[in-house]
A and B are shown apart, each in its own frame.
Chain A
């Protein structure tokens, strides 16, 4: 029978459509336990490829014949081998092109909405890592918010839409993934904005993003208001776009809130986090649509694959916004935190320009799940 190759984009569609899928993940058990392709209707079997070198007979009975079977490994070599072996045993299987490496880098563009005066907002969903980037388009201009390091995706998208990227923003100094912000700005001639309090140690030039900054995109004057909202980092800044959308960075997610410990300052920043979530955001209209910089689990995805929710709904439903007692809040965000993201210290240094790892090293640093939030 046969082996068919699926691209990361093919698999992304399956995840977003919540299709049934059986994944045979042939990476070693530690890698699988740490991080895998997530989806609501995915069933898994993890058997390392090196236990199947003498044949796949031991697992044949565990592989269903009534649904699509996708073989996945780290970089494709092993999944190709195991998929061929399954095919030789008479099965039709799929294998993931580029493996988890490519999955980690895939960005799925999803349109969030048109804007009032023309233009639109697009969200770039990085399913493999839980990162969300944005492009705001108006007239012939665009702004990118929280760009990942795969800058070609944004440049290609802008070209396709016939717009030029004028402004690139990072809501904060990221610790879980490598920012493409500075590179994207340099490559497109755009202005790069970073909150100055997060940029004390950066080695490159940037435009300081401060409370009250207003930046206009395009002929229809889509305004971006910067709103200082420290807590995840001391400089974390939210944006309000077109008086309708609240970009919360890593402060507020759909089903969780930002963790304050990734720069080693959990105790110091708890009060800031609480102030941002419980006072500053409370003063905003509940009708704003929250667009965060991350999601944690695929159930946070809407039908169309987007990650967005009304602020008022989050005030009602997000546990992290509903803790009356300050001590309880303090212990939630400082104790029993999930493990820190892989290589987060090196990632911060990379985002400050202090170290410049090659592409392969950057990939390795980003391997693994996103862990910016606490629930």
Chain B
């Protein structure tokens, strides 16, 4: 599985505490919402990164083990604190959950690494930042549901789609942070 990220940190061969010291440094240079991939060979790095992310408010996405190397994914906190969402047409998670077998399009606008570890079956991954360049992949007349982690990025995505003439777009609230239905990973 290849997961797209904004930055790759090579912490291979480094023992504790260096993987976390370096991750902390790397996150400083990233923008809020960006994702770092950390390559580590220290077996203890998974539990520690998870706990560290939890205590600092950053978002631990998941870990993939490939042979002797652990690939950890962390998304920098922040960037989702807009005061209010303004796109009017919304549904709750549960309502979308009932419609998964229908002819609808679900767009997951979170970062690719977030999508990789956990997404709604059938959802397409188009991160918010690349949505404007990928509009031709979508049909204007389709019934489109936009989902992210907490509803903010999907709110912006829904507005963008609407501005480009997509008529039937709905924002899903609150999004994957509280999704109780089935999920898939890559």
Give A residues with C-beta under 8 Å from B. Answer: 28-31, 48-51, 53, 73-75, 77-78, 81, 360, 364
Contact = CB atoms under 8 A, between A and B. Distances in A.
A150 to B, nearest CB: 19
Interface of B: 15-18, 20-21, 24, 43-44, 47-48, 51-52, 55
A50 B15 contact: no
9 contacts: A28-B47, A30-B51, A31-B47, A49-B17, A50-B24, A50-B52, A74-B16, A77-B15, A81-B17
Contacts of B20: 49-50, 53
B72 to A, nearest CB: 13
Contacts of A31: 47
Given A75-B16, A78-B17, A364-B43, A28 B24 contact: no
B44 A75 contact: yes
A243 B52 CA distance: 56
Contacts of B21: 53
A28 B18 contact: no
Given A31-B47, A77-B16, 20 more contacts: A28-B47, A28-B48, A28-B51, A29-B51, A30-B51, A48-B55, A49-B16, A49-B17, A50-B51, A53-B17, A53-B20, A53-B24, A74-B16, A74-B44, A75-B16, A77-B15, A78-B16, A81-B17, A360-B43, A364-B43
6 smallest A-B Cβ distances: which pairs?
A50-B52, A78-B17, A28-B51, A77-B15, A50-B20, A77-B16
B18 A30 contact: no
Contacts of A28: 47-48, 51
Contact of A30 (B17, B43, B47): B47
A81 B20 CA distance: 13
A240 to B, nearest CB: 42
A74 B16 CA distance: 8
